[in-house]
A and B are shown apart, each in its own frame.
Chain A
Amino acid sequence: MPNRKAVVVEAGKGWAVILLPGGEYKRIKTNRYLEAGDLYQVNKVARVKYLAAAAIFLIILLGSIDYYTVQAYAEVSSLELGINRWGRVVSVEARDAEGQRILETAKIKNEPLENAVEKISRAIKEEKPDRQGVGKPSLSVNGKGKAKQELKQKMLEKMNKGLQRATPEKNKDAAKVLKNDAESQKSNINDLNNRNKQGNMEDPKVKQNHSKTNPEFEHPGLGDQAGKPALSEDLPLSKNDLATEANEDKQTGNTAVMKKNNENGRKKQSD
């Protein structure tokens, strides 16, 4: 499409009103000196460049927002790691002084989860060589659905990998639990697929009968140093805790995960 010449009908500092062929009046921004009666070459290329620049900016902005959106939380030692969809740690919160010390020594933010877990494990080993590996690693995801469960499985495998790389002997038991949980997660995903096919996802009976391996409420962890895998009151979030929270949440309208999200959001803002 060839560029057309419009006629300037009014002009001021930095702007002009032009009359385009076809009868449309248009206000434009311009640094050129223009007077009424002048011909003005309408430049379509500049507009395309502007649109392209705007589109690129929007993509970068949305990508950045997505990058920092936490999809899952992993608890390793006394550190809570917020993980994005690409398995990178985008937020870190220390629950105690030990966690704070680990944060100071190990650079964890923006690391892949397995690297972060490895670094934490090594940091703990350096500080307390006698300790039997990381205690009670756990993972929770935001939201439901097959995609979230697949993400969870993937993250569990990454945590396991990280532990293996760091101190395989001391973290043997933790790794074993994570591995088992990853495998059970796999079967949960298969169950979900089957339920979807049968169309009974909304069956309340199914919800009520959810087992210890329900993907929404499962928090696998290492029970004690002797290596007994267990889901018990020792866990940061036991079944009873979750049931209580679920009841409380019904009243307040928030989920436990959403509360965590709010806390993390506030922490990030204060950062």
Chain B
Amino acid sequence: MHSPADSEFDNLIIKAWQDYQQGDKSALDGIYPDLLPFCQRVSSKTCKRYISEQDEEAGIARMALLEALEKYNPAKGRFIYFLGQVIRSRIIDYKRKEKNRKMLHFSFLLREGNRMTEAVDDSFFEGIIDDLARKQEIVALQKLLQDYNIGFKDLAGVSPRQVKTRESARKIARLIAGNEQLNRYMLEKKMLPVKELEEKWQVNRKIAERYRKFIIATTLIYLHEFPYLQSYILPVRGGDENAQ
């Protein structure tokens, strides 16, 4: 999926690439912070574990970025896909050298070797770009929830299991998000306006109190620009809605 934001980003990269080709070594400074998460994610997905800045693979990914800028040709397609392929190739080469240099456990080679070397197409990197976009929203939501002393583990403990109850809670969240008075109360006091919801809007007090954290999280998703997360909190259409 190629969104306008992707096109804008691609244009930025093309501009930086052109400047870099013409000798401006500082041309990367503008796009480096945006590319780094992508490089880290490709490394992690290739190695099937979290790669931090201190890991050897992170250094290889940084070198692969420079190599991609040297070798890229717009005729080859989107820069981001090309970059992903280069990073992946360099990490696989590194792992092969490591395998030759020291004894790796046989089962690791059986388990990981084939998966690492299997060829991937652009959809693999497209998936990573989508993952990163989702992660951005999730990290932003996590920061907002911290003000209410709510974590995602808490939400797992208080999520309504029944579809009907969850739908009632979601409607309460929708009501709060759509009403300025109610959502201002919540944002200022960091709590639900339960009394007003019950008296003025005939909201079930038990549901509001029992699923307070869930309702707050859902309200925050409605209030902010979280298109990915918003698609998840809507009720599932058709099928077995009582599943899970």
- Give the B-binding residues of A (Cβ under 8 A): 1-2, 4, 7, 9-10, 17, 19-27, 33, 35-39, 42, 44
Select which of B139, B153, B170 is within 8 A of A27 by beta carbon.
B153
Contact among B48, B127, B228, B233 with A23 in the assembled complex (CB-CB below 8 Å)? B233
Query: Among the listed stretches B15-23, B66-74, B82-90, B158-166, which one makes contact with chain A, having 4 or more residues with CB under 8 Å of it?
Result: B158-166
Q: Are A23 and B153 in contact (CB under 8 A)?
A: no
Q: Chain A at the B interface: mostly helix, strand, loop or mixed?
A: loop
Interface bits B44-59 vs A (CB < 8 Å: 1, else 0): 1000111000000000
| Contact of A38 with B131 at beta-carbon distance under 8 Å, contacts A20-B244, A33-B48 already known | yes
In the bound complex, do residue B235 and residue A35 qualify as a contact, i.e. CB atoms below 8 Å apart? no
Q: Are B152 and A9 touching (Cβ within 8 A)?
A: yes
Task: Given A9-B142, A9-B152, A44-B243, output 4 extra A-B contacts at Cβ < 8 Å.
Answer: A20-B232, A22-B236, A27-B153, A37-B132
Q: Mark B139-183, 1 if CB is under 8 A from A, else 0.
A: 101100000000111011101110100100010000000000000
Kindly provide the distance from the CB of A29 to the nearest chain B CB, expressed in whole angstroms: 12
B contact set with A: CB distance below 8 Å: 41, 44, 48-50, 127, 130-136, 138-139, 141-142, 151-153, 155-157, 159-161, 163, 166, 170, 214, 218, 228-229, 232-236, 239-241, 243-244
Q: How far is the CB of A27 from chain B (nearest CB, A)?
A: 4
Which of chain B's residues have a CB closer than 8 A to the CB of A38? 131
What residues of chain A lie closer than 8 Å to B233, measured between beta carbons? 19, 22-23
Are B243 and A27 in touch, CB under 8 angstroms? Answer: no
Q: How far, in whole Å, are A269 and B165 apart by their CA atoms in the complex?
A: 49
B49 in contact with A33 (CB, 8 Å): yes
Residues of the B chain whose Cβ atoms lie less than 8 Å from the Cβ of A1? 239-240, 243
* A17 adjacent to B155 (CB under 8 Å): yes
A44 to B157 CA separation, bound complex (whole angstroms): 20
Distance between A19 CB and nearest chain B CB, rounded to angstroms:
5
Q: Report which of B50, B134, B153, B170 forms a contact with A37, defined as CB distance below 8 A.
A: B134
A33 & B152 in contact (Cβ 8 Å cutoff): no
- A22-B163, A24-B160 as given contacts; A35 in contact with B50, CB under 8 Å: yes
Q: CB < 8 Å: which of A20, A37, A39 contacts B138?
A: A37
Chain A residue contacts of B48, Cβ below 8 A: 33
In the complex, the answer to whether A24 meets B166 with C-beta atoms within 8 Å is yes
Decide: B156 and A17 in contact? CB cutoff 8 A: yes
A44: nearest chain-B partner, CB-CB: B243
